[in-house]
Amino acid sequence: MIAANRQDGKRYEEAGLWWQSRLFLLACVILSAVPLLWPGVAPLDDIGDHIGSYRILAEAGRGPLGRYYDVHWAAVGNLGVEVIVLALHRVFGLDIEPATKLILLVIPPLTVAGMIALARAAHGRIPATAMLAFPLAYGPSFQMGFVNFCLAQALVLLALALWLYLARTRGIGWRIVLFALIAPVIWLCHALGWALLLTYAFAMEAARLAETGRSWRSAVPRAGLTVAPMALPALWMLRAGGDRVAGDSGGWYVIYKIRWVLTLFKEQWFVWDAAALIVVMLFGYAVIRSRRLSMLPLLAVPAAIGFAIFLALPYVFRGGAYLDMRMLAPAVVLAILSVRIAPPGNHGRIAALATGFFVARLIGTTIAFAQIANAQERDWQALDALPPGGRVLVLVDAQGEAGWGSPRRWHIAGLAIARRRMFTNTQWSVPGQHLIRPRVADAAPYDRDPSSLAFPPGSQGGWVDIDTAIRDFDRCSFDAVWTIGFPAGRARSPDLIRTWSDRDSAVYRVRHHRCLSDAPSVR
């Protein structure tokens, strides 16, 4: 089947179809970076505190940050961008923010390149509809700033293309040995990315064996044995030790599944993003109804398993949130890439429409990112009102972030860590997932994520509300309070003095009249 696809692809290339040309495909890869060119800091939900964490790691044990944070170095499945940013910082001398921007500029093009490589490896050519999948390089996981997972996802797509290439050109031993080495690298980027690789390679291999004439009863166990060496990182995850993954699991709700589907293209404007979802859904309906459209099992089977896992996973698993959501976009990508169009037909018109969809989404993403980034730049003016090297309690209006066109301020305060070497209560600190532990005495429970996310009183979304936080936080542990999304003056307490405000962002100095010393207290 694969050999037949390759021959079919050669006929397409000989016909000089424009969407098969290397120049066009290279242009798609390069253009996918355009939305990230303008913003100095990519306007992704979590990126501020990611940048803050990179600064903490780069200065581990030194300066103010060394007093405020411990770094527990360990091999955990969530270090993809950290490793690259630190390498760029230490080896090439790039500062943390430019290094972060550079790697973020690479992730969407790498993802699109992976889609192209996988489509070509599976079909022997690029289907005229493949460009419909390209906008998902900016899917929900990237928009939310899950950069380690997105890097791993891009590498998984490229690895699956390599798997098919080796299946066609080399013996099985090549795949077993190479992927036993590739799998730990992807696991180090992100453990869920490794799980994607294991799942999709297994499903793809089973489908490939079935296409060669084997029964599914024979193909499934053989595929399982072939991918078994890729499961070696599981032994590391199961080892004993203090940095094992720990945390709550749960939160399976039908409403969450519906929400993730509806927000597949969510960026900034509801009508625009909903229109994109409708286009893809209509395309899926056409695949089901049309006799000229079909799905290649080689990619359709992994896509179906990906959808099943998306439906089965809870919202939170062992401390990691949005686990189910992250599975949706890769499954949709595989489903789109699996579609083939039976000749004859106006493939050029279909390719032009798919390309138009990709370009339109790129333009929309570019405008949205520029607008969000400009608004965030205004918020970062608050940094000048914060004491360098001090400690700041951050409280973000979580309800204000719930809308479709949210300003993405969940973790913008992480720039206070990166630029002012300050302690904030915004850093993630889940054992087995993160290397950083706060060490400011008596600040708990306002010493780490999610204590900065303030929900309305009695809300099921979280345990913090602004009035309770202002009343209860330890005055000896913080020098300032930074409220984001609340009216100026909303932090009401006689020992808080407002020193700066703009729109719905304000900074308050904490009067340490209840403390014996203003010196940072650490343990």
Residue ranges of the domains in the chain? 2-31+74-240+251-342, 377-510
Counting other chains too, the contacts that 27-30 makes at CB distance below 8 Å and 24 or more residues apart are 28/112, 28/116, 28/131, 28/134, 28/355, 28/358, 29/109, 29/112, 29/113, 29/116, 30/109
Least confident of 109-123, 144-158, 221-235: 221-235
Query: Strand, helix or coil at 16?
Result: coil
Least confident of 61-70, 339-348, 443-452: 339-348
Q: Which residues of 192-221 are buried (b: 16+ CB within 10 A; e: fewer)?
A: bbbbbbbbbbbbbbbbbbbbeeeeeeebbe
Position 459 pLDDT exceeds 50:
yes
| Whole-number Å distance between alpha carbons of 301 and 193 | 18
Query: Which pLDDT score is estimated for 402?
Result: 84
- pTM value surpassing 0.85: yes
Query: Which pLDDT score is estimated for 514?
Result: 60
Position 8 pLDDT exceeds 80:
no
**Among 421, 415, 472, which Cα is nearest to 445's?**
472
Mean pLDDT of 187-195: 95
Pairing of strands 453-454, 436-438: unpaired
Query: Which pLDDT score is estimated for 147?
Result: 97
Query: Which pLDDT score is estimated for 244?
Result: 54
Query: Which pLDDT score is estimated for 512?
Result: 75
Query: Strand, helix or coil at 482?
Result: strand
Mean pLDDT of 289-295: 91
Least confident of 4-18, 33-47, 79-93, 108-122: 4-18
Please, how many CA atoms are within 13 Å of residue 353, restricted to the half-sphere of its CB? 10
Cα 391 to Cα 80, 424, 464: the distances in Å are 28, 6, 19
Contacts of 27 (CB under 8 A, 6+ apart): none
Query: Which pLDDT score is estimated for 13?
Result: 44
Which pLDDT band holds residue 16 (cuts at 50, 70, 90)?
A: low
Query: Strand, helix or coil at 121?
Result: helix
Position 523 pLDDT exceeds 50:
no
Mean pLDDT of 68-86: 95
Query: Which pLDDT score is estimated for 79?
Result: 95
Position 153 pLDDT exceeds 70:
yes
| Whole-number Å distance between alpha carbons of 445 and 453 | 12
Taking phi first (over 0 means left), then psi (-120 to 50 degrees means alpha), and beta for anything else, what does residue 503 get? left
Q: Which residues of 133-148 are buried (b: 16+ CB within 10 A; e: fewer)?
A: bbbbbbbbbbbbbbbb
| Whole-number Å distance between alpha carbons of 162 and 117 | 8
Least confident of 242-246, 504-508, 513-517: 242-246
Position 204 pLDDT exceeds 80:
yes
Which pLDDT band holds residue 247 (cuts at 50, 70, 90)?
A: low
Q: Which residues pair with 282 in a beta bridge?
A: none
Position 368 pLDDT exceeds 60:
yes
Query: Which pLDDT score is estimated for 199?
Result: 96
Position 20 pLDDT exceeds 60:
yes
In the chain, what percentage of residues exceed pLDDT 90?
79
The structure tokens 């080896």 sit at 91
Query: Which pLDDT score is estimated for 432?
Result: 81
Structural Rg of the chain based on CA atoms? 24
